[in-house]
Chains A and B, each alone.
Chain A
């Protein structure tokens, strides 16, 4: 019998053909078939897909005791505003740190030909990156400040086509399709990862009693109020939220990792400020988009850090996990992200928290704490229920940070610090395949965590010299806009 002789009978062959045909038919019947773009938008594939090593879980990886959560008795966690910081450390230390910062800036400005950190070039960069507010997101709609010179042309500057101006009903669809459309639009407007959560009693319990966002512009602190009204509005003392606005959208504004790795420097400060500038554009566009459809997006304005602590809602909505810096780290983007949120009445699905092994990894890793010049980050192995001080919201088993010491150091540098964020192991880029292997490993098991963060240090990931950044040829805005992208051939 020949080596290649087949004993397959014609009957078996025809039977096999029939089975194969039936199989192909079944696959074809089960496969999604799109007849138009509406079907594409509503298909499962367009709803929030994450890397395979990101698991959805019922509870966040950080333990929360909702009976102990409370909003802060002052406007903002993080002690960004000097008057708040002074409440904890006194004006003497605040003024001293800020004078030290000004002296560092003045000394640095004399380095006119230098590219190093805190030089004229470096400081000019940090100043240029602030938002300039040609138009910015308001509470409910974009705000167009009066411009010098010729009066702005309303048809060009403030034009808003809405379902009302067209005389048609507002957009109505399923929460899932709304999310898919919003995600596509927000990506186009500049957002990174997006998630949504219900504005329930737990989330409301985290609301700031007063919002500091206007205090950055010498305005009064504002409170929040809920009303049975159609539209959100602003009074002299309150941001009013309609009761029908029952969803919180959380999203990231990516920032340049290479710039953060130069911290403390003006280049890093520029990266930090860029998220506010980019978010103004993103949120102004989102607000117009939602108004056009017949809905609203409410965000504390003009500074977007209000409403409630961003890492908290980002973690609850599954945007990321809490970390040792007591911030939220994102699977696709790492720790170098701006996290924002807005409230909307557009019906949306409720995202679940996620677990990609990050919080567990932070139990072993102390890279941020080791590199913190102010020693403001916890070195403890286990997180704790006890807040580090009255500046922290309790009710969570976290790695609390000494925020006043952190901010005092930041003020003293003449730029910003952010070393912890810049050196975080989750900030790796995507070109070398080792990163994907490490991320999938630590998502699956924690037994290599201690080894992995030590290997990260040994391999030299982390801080870079500020002067090096000027010689790099980086993407627009300084960050990789393809992070977490799946379509168009851009995804990695």
Chain B
């Protein structure tokens, strides 16, 4: 699973860098930070969600989606919106 996730994350980062070069914009340090924390929280959620389901602990799996996954998504969305609005202004 981690092999596939690693490839996906690598592809997404490459895609982001490609997008930044094509559209000639860059991310501020705090946007990188918020995005990285959000991505890590999302990866942590994925591991624990599937791990908990394998452990036959479905409630724990759903709690991970709620307690870690949702804030992770919010942080990713925040990083995206911060960058998008800043680029739009400029």
Contact = CB atoms under 8 A, between A and B. Distances in A.
Size band of the B side of the interface?
10 to 19
Contacts of A429: 55, 57
Contacts of A50: none
A348 to B, nearest CB: 36
A489 interface: no
Contacts, number: 40
B77 to A, nearest CB: 24
Interface in B39-66: 44, 47-48, 51-52, 54-60, 63-64
Contact of B48 (A433, A458, A460, A464): A433
B47 A459 contact: no
A459 B59 contact: yes
B60 A431 contact: no
The 4 closest A-B pairs by CB, nearest first: A460-B59, A432-B51, A431-B51, A459-B60
A258 B52 CA distance: 13
Contact of B47 (A432, A461, A472): A432
B1 to A, nearest CB: 11
A432 B63 contact: no
A431 B63 contact: no
Given A431-B51, A434-B48, A472 B57 contact: no
Interface of B: 44, 47-48, 51-52, 54-60, 63-64
Size band of the A side of the interface?
10 to 19
Interface of A: 258, 428-429, 431-434, 458-461, 464, 468, 472
Contacts of A433: 44, 47-48, 51
Contacts of A431: 51-52, 54-55
Nearest to B56: A472
Given A429-B55, A433-B48, A434-B64, 7 more contacts: A258-B56, A432-B54, A433-B44, A460-B58, A460-B63, A461-B57, A461-B60
Nearest to A258: B56
B88 to A, nearest CB: 34
10 contacts: A429-B55, A432-B47, A432-B55, A432-B60, A433-B47, A433-B48, A434-B64, A459-B57, A459-B64, A460-B63
A472 B56 CA distance: 9
Contacts of B58: 460
B56 A432 contact: no
Nearest to B60: A459
Contacts of A428: 55
